[in-house]
Homo-oligomer: A and B are copies of this chain.
Amino acid sequence: MQVHTQQTPQFETPPHLEKRNKLVIVCSKGSLDMAYPPLMLATTGAAMGMEVHLYFTFWGINMLRKKTVDSLKISPVGNPAMPMPNILGMIPGMTRLATRMMRKSMEKMKMPTIMDMIKTAHDTGVHFHACSPSMQMMNLTKDDLIPEVDDIIGATTYLDLASEDAITLFI
């Protein structure tokens, strides 16, 4: 493992460009494995002093629902990165097994649960926004959401946040 600094030209930040201090992430997945990355980046960004916004849309809304936030799953089926043939993934209980295996790895690393991470992120000032059309489509009201959610906003507000020179990601 070597660092090849010579092969890459160094690009200096032009004097008028300060570092970006804003992170705006769209969270569109409702699976356990894709719930961790936005929350890890969000808490890290907040700890670095960044202004952080998470915009939950489509399946991502499940990360904000009281009913689902503690039971996010990963599926062994259709995920070729998991070392398990599809036919095994079909056996009832396999999603539960894969999910439990991942939770165990997380616990062994002393990784907090998703709900714990949401609380920490919220406490450090990360903003939680639920997407209004997704709420409508899933027939949800704000009472279905955990109290850490700041507000329910549309795509216009999201794009407005993203346009303010933010680091933008769609997860």
Which residues of B have CB within 8 Å of A155? 40-41, 44
A54 touches B (CB below 8 Å): no
User: When A57-B37, A75-B80 are in contact, do A50 and B1 touch as well, CB less than 8 Å?
Assistant: no
The complex is assembled from copies of this chain, and their number is 3
Bound CA span A123–B90, Å: 42
B169 touches A169 (CB 8 A): yes
A69 touches B (CB below 8 Å): no
Bound CA span A50–B155, Å: 13
A17 touches B165 (CB 8 A): yes
Contact with B along A138-158 (1 / 0, CB 8 A): 110010010101110011101
Bound CA span A133–B39, Å: 13
Chain B nearest CB, measured from A43 CB (Å): 9
CB-based nearest B residue for A136: B109
Bound CA span A129–B36, Å: 19
One of B21, B37, B81 near A31 (C-beta < 8 A): B81
Which residues of B have CB within 8 Å of A75? 77-80, 86
17 contacts between A and B (CB under 8 A): A1-B147, A1-B151, A3-B150, A8-B127, A11-B22, A13-B164, A17-B165, A20-B163, A20-B165, A28-B171, A30-B80, A33-B58, A59-B81, A78-B89, A86-B94, A87-B92, A169-B169
Residues of A near any B CB (own CB < 8 A): 1-4, 7-11, 13-14, 16-23, 26, 28-34, 36-37, 40-41, 44-45, 47-51, 57-59, 62, 72-75, 77-81, 85-87, 89-92, 94-95, 99, 105-106, 109, 111, 122-125, 127, 133, 136-139, 142, 145, 147, 149-151, 154-156, 158-160, 162-171
